[in-house]
Amino acid sequence: MPDSDVLKSFSAGNPPKSIRMIAARGLVPIPPGEMLLLLVRLAQDSDQEVAQRAKETLNGWNEKEIVTRLEASECSQEVLEHFAGSTLPAIQEAIILNPHAPAALIANLASCVATPLLETILYNRTRLLDSPEILQEIKLNPAATPEILRLVEEMETEFFGSKKRAYTVTESDQSAPARRENIELEVELPPGDLALEGLPIDPQEREAAILSRIGAMTVRQKIQLARMGTREARSVLIRDTNKEVSRSVLQSPKLTVTEVEAFAAMRNASEDVLRLIGSSKNWTRSYAVTHNLVKNPKTPPMVSQRLLSRLHPKDLMMLSRDRGIPEALKRSAERMLKQRNAPKS
């Protein structure tokens, strides 16, 4: 989105202090995203009074609004860098969730954020492939649990194989673009494999051919196919026994909500996949995804219990009678249904 004339005027010149002070109070009529960027710039103003006023305005800005701006793909790098110093988990998470956040920022956060946010960082496999130094920073974080360290070790082995090494942010022997190119070459597949072309038309023969072709791939090839392949490939790879492969399916930019609804209902999906689906705010906006997760006996109990309150009364009633789900979940559904039906005093 192009900058407004007001923002351009501040960027192109040095308006009088009186005008800068008005802007530092947040009183300039421009969109919130541009206002945030302008305040970040004014916080570095050469005039200490202007800079201090802008900082105070930023400190008083609504946290939810800041989070929304930081998560937006068009968020300015200047704004991301300014708020990267925040210790508020919601703001740290918003920066981590922004797909365009610079790798250096994520690496810095990886060295100091709390355990739940380390799990969020590990969720973006594409970023980790491009910037393996993030994995090294995670290992230096005191909050990294044995489970997280195990996942990091698995990723280093799966992604980089025999080329695994200690990556650091200050690595100078190879530029970031060159390193990224090498990683892409390691996982590159011929276009025909990504499209799964030349397969039989008969459904049974086609499924057998897909399974055969995918079964012959290396883990790194499966990861790329999971991210960039077809819907048919994703339906197979989501059930792969290798966690990195099944997780990569959920990172595919081609993935649709309809597919996620089907994954949430799969009895042969791994608990890890179901947990990741259940922790996604975007996917659980779909009632079908939420309903399928709660009904799935493979869904981790903590996820099911958390999503239970979102179900409609008729679905709660069906769930309370379902013999295929854990007893504890059935009792929770019964209790919730009684609470909703209780007469209001």
Tell me the pLDDT of the chain averaged across its residues: 81
pLDDT tens, 251-271? 888 888 899 999 999 988 999
* CA 269/CA 287 separation, integer angstroms: 19
Only one residue has tokens 């530092």, namely: 24
The reported pLDDT for the residue numbered 187 is 42
The reported pLDDT for the residue numbered 186 is 40
The reported pLDDT for the residue numbered 290 is 93
pLDDT tens, 95-121? 988 888 889 999 999 999 988 888 888
The reported pLDDT for the residue numbered 158 is 67
Q: Is the pLDDT of residue 80 over 60?
A: yes
* CA 142/CA 272 separation, integer angstroms: 24
pLDDT tens, 213-256? 888 888 888 888 888 888 888 989 999 988 889 988 998 888 88
Torsion of CA 191, 196, 200, 206, to 10 degrees: 170
pLDDT tens, 142-198? 998 888 888 888 777 766 654 444 333 333 333 344 333 333 334 444 444 555 566
Q: Is the pLDDT of residue 316 over 50?
A: yes
The reported pLDDT for the residue numbered 196 is 58
Query: Is residue 28 classed as helix, strand or coil in its secondary structure?
Result: coil
- Helical H segments across 216-326, by residue range: 219-228, 231-237, 243-249, 257-265, 271-278, 287-295, 301-307, 313-320
The reported pLDDT for the residue numbered 121 is 87
Task: Give exposure, 177-189, as e/b (b: 16+ Cβ within 10 Å).
Answer: eebbeebeebbeb
Within a 13 Å sphere around the CA of 90, how many CA atoms are in the beta-carbon half?
8
Q: Is the pLDDT of residue 283 over 50?
A: yes
Q: Is the pLDDT of residue 28 over 90?
A: no
The reported pLDDT for the residue numbered 249 is 92
1 — pLDDT class (breaks 50, 70, 90): very low
* CA 253/CA 237 separation, integer angstroms: 15
Q: Is the pLDDT of residue 199 over 60?
A: yes
Assessment of whether the complete model's pTM goes beyond 0.85: no
The reported pLDDT for the residue numbered 30 is 79
Within a 13 Å sphere around the CA of 196, how many CA atoms are in the beta-carbon half?
27
Q: Is the pLDDT of residue 287 over 80?
A: yes
Among 241, 92, 239, residue whose Cα is nearest residue 154 = 241
Average pLDDT estimate for 328-336 = 88
Average pLDDT estimate for 281-300 = 91
The reported pLDDT for the residue numbered 182 is 38
Among 273, 231, 221, residue whose Cα is nearest residue 253 = 231
Burial class (CB within 10 angstroms; exposed 0-12, middle 13-18, buried 19+) of 286 = middle
Domain boundaries, the chain: 1-61, 102-187, 188-252, 256-345
Among 26, 63, 29, residue whose Cα is nearest residue 43 = 26
Spatial CB neighbours of 118, under 8 Å, sequence gap ≥ 6: 110, 138, 141, 143, 144, 148
The reported pLDDT for the residue numbered 231 is 87
